[in-house]
Amino acid sequence: MGQALRRIILSGDARKPAVEAAVADLLPWLRQRAEVVATDLAMDRELEHVEADLAVILGGDGAILSVARRLGRNQIPAIGVNLGKFGFLAEVSPDQFRERFDDILAGRYRLSSRMRLACALWRGGRVAAEHTALNDVVVSRGALSRLVAIGLVVDGMRTTTYNGDGVIVSTPTGSTAHSLSAGGPVVDPELAAMVVTPICPHTLTNRPVVLPGHRTIELHAEATPVDVGLTVDGQVYQQIAAGDHVIVRRAASDLKLIDLGLRTYYDTLREKLHWSGSALHGHC
């Protein structure tokens, strides 16, 4: 059982027709049943200081990534209402949301805690920028198809230098995103872990590494004629100069997703990754 929820943030990119229609349908309905304390319909509002109990997010997984980042340390329970095919994070349909909303208000749900990352870009001995990520932090080459050299330091210990297209540091949630396409493992989201995955490494023995969540990771952009950039959750981009380094560690607060028990994580994996589940009769 979770806590009873009354004060709601409604978030979604209303510039998209499907979201605009869902807002027009759901907003009056929500206001009859709870207190909508804020709307975030341009997906640009800072939400850290909004006093609310629940974030209702219309859209797909990308919308959840954006809201999780803008909630900052104020990680109130969140639920994603998917307006297309269900995603890894946004799994309930508008109809399912309506059917189960009274359960949510009454606290009849469980919370799925999702580890987040905090990253800081250091330049000239000072922090030039700070970000948080739910999926991943990526340091990679720019437009030119040339190798970049990125040094990896773990808890102050020099580990290796990756020569390739870049390096991904992902959470368990992000292990099924960019990291997976680069050959990284699928990591159960209940684990507190970070995955370091090189992108197209020139040295074939450079393999993905799974680290415990308490480690501190440094990525150093070494001298290179190629543009290098920092990308956070595929939504925030910042240029990196030679000599800069990025420090990545576990964020102070996790995302809290409302789980209504409609499907398990492994149900989602089977459908999204097209895994076969028919070999063990009675189990799948």
Asked whether residue 131 falls in the same domain as residue 245, the answer is yes
DSSP 98: H
pLDDT over 90 percentage in the chain: 83
Is there a domain that residue 32 lies in? Answer: yes
Are the C-beta atoms of 133 and 117 separated by less than 8 Å? yes
Q: Enumerate the H helices of 133-275 as residue ranges.
A: 178-181, 265-272
**Sequence letter at residue 4:** A
Asked whether residue 165 falls in the same domain as residue 240, the answer is yes
Number of structural domains, the chain? 2
Give CA–CA dist 215/226, Å, rounded: 29
Is there a domain that residue 180 lies in? Answer: yes
Cβ neighbors of 279 (< 8 A, separation 6 or more) are none
Asked whether residue 123 falls in the same domain as residue 220, the answer is yes
Asked whether residue 64 falls in the same domain as residue 145, the answer is no
pLDDT bucket at 3, cuts 50 / 70 / 90: confident
Asked whether residue 96 falls in the same domain as residue 122, the answer is no
Asked whether residue 108 falls in the same domain as residue 38, the answer is yes
Is there a domain that residue 280 lies in? Answer: no
Are the C-beta atoms of 182 and 206 separated by less than 8 Å? no
Two tokens, residue 242: 């030679």
pLDDT over 70 percentage in the chain: 95
pLDDT bucket at 281, cuts 50 / 70 / 90: low
DSSP 92: B
Is there a domain that residue 156 lies in? Answer: yes
Asked whether residue 182 falls in the same domain as residue 60, the answer is no
Give CA–CA dist 175/167, Å, rounded: 13
Report how far apart, in Å, the C-alpha atoms of 38 and of each of 8, 19, 78, 105 are: 7, 16, 14, 17
Two tokens, residue 261: 């028990």
Phi then psi for residue 67, to 5 deg, are: -65, -40
DSSP 184: P
Is there a domain that residue 284 lies in? Answer: no
Q: Where are the beta strands (DSSP E) in 142-279?
A: 148-154, 157-164, 166-170, 193-199, 209-212, 217-221, 228-232, 236-240, 245-250, 255-259
pLDDT bucket at 199, cuts 50 / 70 / 90: very high
Two tokens, residue 267: 């149900």
Average pLDDT on 93-103 reads 95
Asked whether residue 169 falls in the same domain as residue 100, the answer is no
pLDDT bucket at 87, cuts 50 / 70 / 90: confident
Closest CA to 109 of 85, 92, 84: 92
Q: What is the 3-state secondary structure (H, E, C) of 185-199?
A: CCCCCCCCEEEEEEE
Task: Please tell me the predicted confidence (pLDDT) of residue 264.
Answer: 93
Active-site residues, by number, are 61
Average pLDDT on 56-78 reads 97
Is there a domain that residue 281 lies in? Answer: no
Asked whether residue 203 falls in the same domain as residue 166, the answer is yes
**pLDDT over 70 at 1, yes or no:** no
The CATH number linked to 150 is 2.60.200.30
Q: Which domain holds residue 136?
A: 117-250
Asked whether residue 125 falls in the same domain as residue 93, the answer is no
The CATH number linked to 103 is 3.40.50.10330
Average pLDDT on 250-261 reads 97
pLDDT digits (tens, 9 = 90+) for 148-191: 999 999 999 999 999 999 999 999 999 999 999 999 999 999 99
Closest CA to 140 of 212, 62, 209, 201: 201
Averaged pLDDT of the chain: 93
Give CA–CA dist 251/141, Å, rounded: 25
pLDDT digits (tens, 9 = 90+) for 217-248: 999 988 766 789 999 999 999 999 888 999 99
Is there a domain that residue 165 lies in? Answer: yes
**pLDDT over 80 at 280, yes or no:** no
**pLDDT over 90 at 277, yes or no:** no
Asked whether residue 200 falls in the same domain as residue 268, the answer is no
Asked whether residue 246 falls in the same domain as residue 261, the answer is no
DSSP 173: G
